[in-house]
Amino acid sequence: MEFKEMKKIWDTQNDEALYVINEDALHRRIKAKKMGTKSRTSFSEVLLIASNLCAGGVVIISHLLKNSGNVAALTMGAMMMFVGVYILFLRWQRIKRDQQTDVSILGDLENAIENINYRIKLSQSMIWFCLIVIALTMFTVLNSDQSVFNIVLISAFFIVGFIMSRWEHKRFNLGKKKQLLDLKEKLINEFEM
Amino acid sequence: MTENEINHIFQTWLKQHKALLFKIVRSYAFNEEDRDDLFQEIAIQVWRSVTSFKQQSAVTTWLYRVALNTAIKWTAKERKHQDRHESIDVSQHIIESHQPPDDRLAWLYEEIAQLNEVDRSLTLLLLDGFSYKEMSKILGISESNVGVKINRIKKHLTTKSEKS
């Protein structure tokens, strides 16, 4: 069979619908999926910005109002405010970069890899930042008249949070990056004839 | 752009270009459940792409790019579907077979299915009449590479048809 003949056979699908869409079922699934796939990067950024700015603001204001003179707490508050603003700046840069993306499949893939690299960097920086915040918080807590139960509770909260962030980093970010890099390599190899 | 406007454009694209989407789904997914899954994935990506469409290319070119990109990534996931954990009603299929299959068309799909993901995408674009220039823009590779690949695919399919 000549290729022209194959094309004619192929074109018959344009005139007759081989399948029909069950619009109700599609609408229901898209609605369900839309709720579950809100951009993870954007969500993480907004969460980090809001939590850092709010927590930092609360720490600074409460200590200034009490006139406590607690340098460790004030440093931690200022650091949280700074990190919140810095992530806001990174988010603005990422959105700007997303708008300049090449519209090809390979370009889209490269953009996805850039985004996952950005998420990995953000996640790694947050792990270190988290350790500093934990250290400063524990220092403040240990120097205050908190009960042993409260100290254990705060420590447990930080340990769980830290383990969860490491798990998220390994489970989602690194796995996704590997998947995207494999796909890019596959596409490039296909065309290196 | 409001959500209503996005939904309106999405519905129009779906209505006018469903044949294009079905061709891609049928070439990359080989049973009813997978076809539903892939179609759902493509529909979501098309919906999300509405705001990015800048009218610098034809709608068909845009849809092909979005749908092929989704299909290639979907295939690369090696069937690890995270979505299986979502509480979605799968009792009702999204796409339902409407016409009895044409034997020659079925043969063509079988041959396309045996190609790798990239060759499959080129074959679909070629059969739908895209130029080498358009194909290179959609895939992000040079026109000369497209040309060499296309010649090989044409030769392969013609030889296979002679043998069958």
Per-residue pLDDT tens over the stretch A37-59: 346 677 878 888 888 898 889 88
Q: Do residues A56 and A79 touch, judged by C-beta distance below 8 A?
A: yes
Q: Which of A104, A109, A190 sits opposite B138 (nearest CB)?
A: A104
Handedness of CA A38, B139, A102, A117 (dihedral sign): positive
- Strand residue runs (E) in chain B: 95-97
Do the domains B100-164 and B1-98 match in fold? no
pLDDT at residue A30 in the model: 67
Q: What is the mean pLDDT of residues B80-97?
A: 52
CB contact A33 to B (< 8 Å): yes
pLDDT at residue B123, as a whole number: 94
**3-state DSSP assignment of residue B79:** coil
Q: Chain B: nearest CA to A32, how far in angstroms?
A: 7
Contacts of residue B85, defined as CB under 8 A and 6 or more positions apart, other chains included, come to none
- Write down the domain spans for chain B: 1-98, 100-164
Among B114, B44, B113, B141, residue whose Cα is nearest residue B83: B44
Is there a contact between B26 and B35 (Cβ–Cβ < 8 Å)?
yes
Category of B115 on φ-ψ map: left (φ > 0), alpha (ψ -120 to 50) or beta: beta
How many C-alpha atoms does B111 have within 13 Å on its Cβ side? 23
| Closest residue in B to A191 (Cα–Cα) | B145
Mutate to test the interface with A, among B22, B49, B78, B94 (most CBs of A within 10 A): B94
Determine what percent of chain B is predicted with pLDDT higher than 70: 85
Percent of chain A with pLDDT strictly greater than 70: 86
> Does residue A100 sit at the B interface (CB-CB below 8 Å)?
no
- Per DSSP bridges, beta strands B95-97 and A19-21 are antiparallel
Instruction: Find the residue in B nearest to A25 (Cα).
Output: B94
**pLDDT, tens digit (0-9, with 9 covering 90-100), for A59-72:** 889 888 888 777 88
- Asked if residue B125 has pLDDT above 80, the reply is yes
CA–CA separation, A165 and A171 (whole Å):
10
Domain ranges of chain A: 40-191
Mean pLDDT of all residues in B37-60: 87
- Return the percentage of chain B with pLDDT > 90, whole number: 37
Torsion of CA B67, A105, B141, A91, to 10 degrees: 160
The CA distance from B83 to the nearest CA of chain A, in Å, is 8
pLDDT of residue A15: 66
What lies within 8 Å, CB to CB, of B115 at 6+ separation is: B123, B153, B156
CATH fold for the domain made of B100-164:
Arc Repressor Mutant, subunit A (1.10.10)
B124 touches B112 (CB < 8 A): yes
pLDDT at B141 over 70: yes
The third-level CATH classification (topology) of the domain covering B1-98 is: Rna Polymerase Sigma Factor; Chain: A (1.10.1740)
